[in-house]
């Protein structure tokens, strides 16, 4: 029998109103239940929001250095439990062990980073036009922040929303994704043990239709931060803004890597394979389009196919690439593979579920490469969210740039080139919030902004770094005459 975990509301671990639960399975072995969590209702979500609202004023008035001390202590607790958290992440989400460990470390680093930032918050002093007057700004929290997070980075994304929200003095309600909620709940456990006051953080598991909707629409919620698909995120944005909330969304991607004529095909294949097949392709910044100059196309394809076919697929605990998170995600990827073949793309590698005893029960798919792809095909336009790379041939840099921008998304983009002019034109002209030169589309620094263009983001506030603090704060300007 798998362990039952409760909601965290007003400093207590409590059962949902109904007592119903959600069972989380191991995607590498769906017959193995690895956790049981509360299937909460709107009533449970309301209780969490009310607890946050009641705690908000006292937490807002807590000095920034004290808030930072609690975040730092929580980060240290996470560091002490890194191995345990890594195992939970592998079991619930399926990530390869090395990738899971890196994600847990990122959460630790995020807590330590924003712990330091908490002491620097305050405002700025300005010179007034009038005599005998102080003129300055104060940075204040917005109030109660609702965070709705996805399953693909189940500890990193909650951390990079939660840490700045708490550092700036907001009370928080958090709904982690039902597919892999365990590590997000461990963030609450660490903060509780670090001394976070009751009610400042509340974590409720359950469906988006019940818990998420209440978080988005409740009158006491002041800000909503959502990461997930573009379709759901756009609905969240509309409903939250209609309710007068401040809203931040980070959504899907169809991320290109342009391989220029000057690129080394083997190096470019390493970069594309790392971006396209890492984390089983289940990243909003994953490379799903390789846009390749015709002069290096054939050699690049051969190199990429070689890398795809050499990846060791199996349970994340001891293999290079783990399963997809669920049966529905696997079926979606296989559907896109079939669609690509029907539209005339050439299957150059993968395309099937792998054979072997280690992979016979899980949601595994082979790293897949399509060639002879036209930019108008669905495989080149729609987010697959699996380890599938579409290779598109172009005749020159300008065509490559046009194809890179010829989608409704604009999250991450990269170019592989030895031509400095091409690199700088790409930086200037590509429509993406994250731009990389001679690097893979995935992988983000925590101290710089993250966000996308077009359907990849609400284009309101960025996450991470100093800009990650801005969403959770509001400025007050003070004229103090004496």
What amino acid positions are annotated as catalytic residues?
A: 284
Question: What is the b/e burial string over 92-117, where b = at least 16 CB atoms within 10 angstroms of the residue's CB?
Answer: bbbbbbebbbebbbbbbbbbbbbbeb
Q: How distant, in Å, are the alpha carbons of 145, 157, 167, 345, 462 from that of 170?
A: 7, 17, 8, 50, 17
> 396, 260 in Cβ contact below 8 A?
no
Pairwise CA distance, residues 182 & 211, whole Å: 17
The residue whose two tokens read 């004496």 is: 482
Among 85, 225, 77, CA closest to 154:
85
The tokens of 368 are what? 């897949």
Q: What is the enclosing helix (H) or strand (E) of 369?
A: strand 368-371
User: 3-state class of 34 per DSSP?
Assistant: strand
Query: Which of 270, 275, 269 is closest to 296 using CA atoms?
Result: 269
Q: Report whether 206 contacts 25 (CB < 8 A).
A: no
Give Cα 164 to chain centroid, integer Å: 15
On whether the CB atoms of residues 340 and 370 are closer than 8 A, the answer is: yes
């Amino acid at each position: 029998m798998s362990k039952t975990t409760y909601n965290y509301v007003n400093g207590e671990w409590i059962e949902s109103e109904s007592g119903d639960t959600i069972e989380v399975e191991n995607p590498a072995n769906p017959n193995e239940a690895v956790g049981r969590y509360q299937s909460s209702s709107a009533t449970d979500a309301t209780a969490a929001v009310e607890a946050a609202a009641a705690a908000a004023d006292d937490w807002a008035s807590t000095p920034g250095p004290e808030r930072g001390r609690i975040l730092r202590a929580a980060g240290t607790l996470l560091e002490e439990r890194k191995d345990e958290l890594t195992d939970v992440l592998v079991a619930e989400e399926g990530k390869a062990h090395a990738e899971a460990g890196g994600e847990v470390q990122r959460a630790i680093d995020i807590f330590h980073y924003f712990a330091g930032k908490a002491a620097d918050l305050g405002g700025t002093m300005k010179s007034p036009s009038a005599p005998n007057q102080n003129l300055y700004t104060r940075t204040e929290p917005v109030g109660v922040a609702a965070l709705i997070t996805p399953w693909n980075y189940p500890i990193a994304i909650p951390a990079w929303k939660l840490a700045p929200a708490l550092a700036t003095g907001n009370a928080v309600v958090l709904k982690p994704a039902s597919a892999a909620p365990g590590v997000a709940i461990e963030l609450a456990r660490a903060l509780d043990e670090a001394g976070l006051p009751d009610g400042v953080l509340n974590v409720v598991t359950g469906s988006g239709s019940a818990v998420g909707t209440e978080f988005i629409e409740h009158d006491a919620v002041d800000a909503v931060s959502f990461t997930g698909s573009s379709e759901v995120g756009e609905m969240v944005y509309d409903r939250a803004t209609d309710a007068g909330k401040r809203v931040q969304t980070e959504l899907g991607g169809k991320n290109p890597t342009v391989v220029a004529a000057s690129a080394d095909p083997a190096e470019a294949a390493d970069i594309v394979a790392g971006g396209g097949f890492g984390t089983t392709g289940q990243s909003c910044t994953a490379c799903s389009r390789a846009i390749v100059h015709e002069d290096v196309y054939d050699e690049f394809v051969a190199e990429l196919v070689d890398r795809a076919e050499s990846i060791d697929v199996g349970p994340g605990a001891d293999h290079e690439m783990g399963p997809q998170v669920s049966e529905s995600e696997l079926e979606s990827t296989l559907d896109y593979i079939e669609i690509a073949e029907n539209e005339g793309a050439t299957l150059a590698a993968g395309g099937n579920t792998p054979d072997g005893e280690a992979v016979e029960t899980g949601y595994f798919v082979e790293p897949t490469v399509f060639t002879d792809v036209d930019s108008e095909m669905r495989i080149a336009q729609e987010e697959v969210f699996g380890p599938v790379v579409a290779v598109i041939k172009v005749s020159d840099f300008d065509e490559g740039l046009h194809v890179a921008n010829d989608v409704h998304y604009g999250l991450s983009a990269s170019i592989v080139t030895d031509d400095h002019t091409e690199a700088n034109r790409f930086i200037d002209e590509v429509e993406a919030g994250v731009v990389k030169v001679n690097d893979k589309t995935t992988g983000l620094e925590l101290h710089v902004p993250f966000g996308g263009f077009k359907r990849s983001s609400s284009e309101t506030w960025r996450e991470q770094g100093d800009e990650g603090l801005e969403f959770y704060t509001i400025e007050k300007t003070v004229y103090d005459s004496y």
